[in-house]
Structure 1
Amino acid sequence: MDGMPDNLEERLAALREQHRDLDAAISSLEAVPAPDQLRLRRLKKQKLLLKDEITRLEDQMIPDIIA
């Protein structure tokens, strides 16, 4: 087991919390006069990857509706 939550709701909650934490870290880093641009780019990329994973899981939770 990889330590990840078992169900989708728990996994989504954990990912959303990580996303918020990254957002706060990015905001803090951007607030300094000369932020580390490489670190900033890495944090933003990680945040984007988390957002993609959140979207993918949310899509799994929504049943397909055939119109």
Structure 2
Amino acid sequence: MTPSDQDQADLRLQFAKLKQDHADFDAAIEAMIKTGCNPLQIQRMKKKKLAVKDRLQKVEDQIIPDIIA
């Protein structure tokens, strides 16, 4: 079953938003490290970034399904 064009567009939009969130977390973490923030706060941000990356992968898998040859 292939998603409709609207579903594909929604998935691509969600993917773009998640990719931007991931980049924002990356920039925030770098800034926190440079300013010497609490390591616990940095670790929490890294966990959130990883969760966003996992969601990114799931959305990407929906956009580009695995093809078993």
Give TM-score, length-normalised by structure 2. 0.80
**How much has 1:12 moved relative to structure 2?**
0.5
Structure 2: state its 5+ residue gaps: 1-8
Q: Flag as ranges the 4+ runs of structure 1 deviating above 2 A.
A: none
Partner of 1:17: 20
Structure 1 CA distance, aligned partners of 2:66 and 2:39?
41
Q: Which moved more, 1:54-63 or 1:42-51?
A: 54-63
Aligned length: 61
Looking at structure 2, the residues matched to 58 and 43 of structure 1 have their Cα atoms a distance apart, in angstroms, of 22
User: More helix by proportion, 1 or 2?
Assistant: 2
Higher relative contact order (CA 8 A, sep 6+): 2
Provide the aligned C-alpha RMSD in A: 1.4
Structure 1 alignment gaps of length 5 or more: 1-5
Alpha-carbon deviations, 1:18-47, whole Å to 9, x = none? Answer: 111110000000002x32111101100000
| Percent of matched pairs sharing the same residue | 43
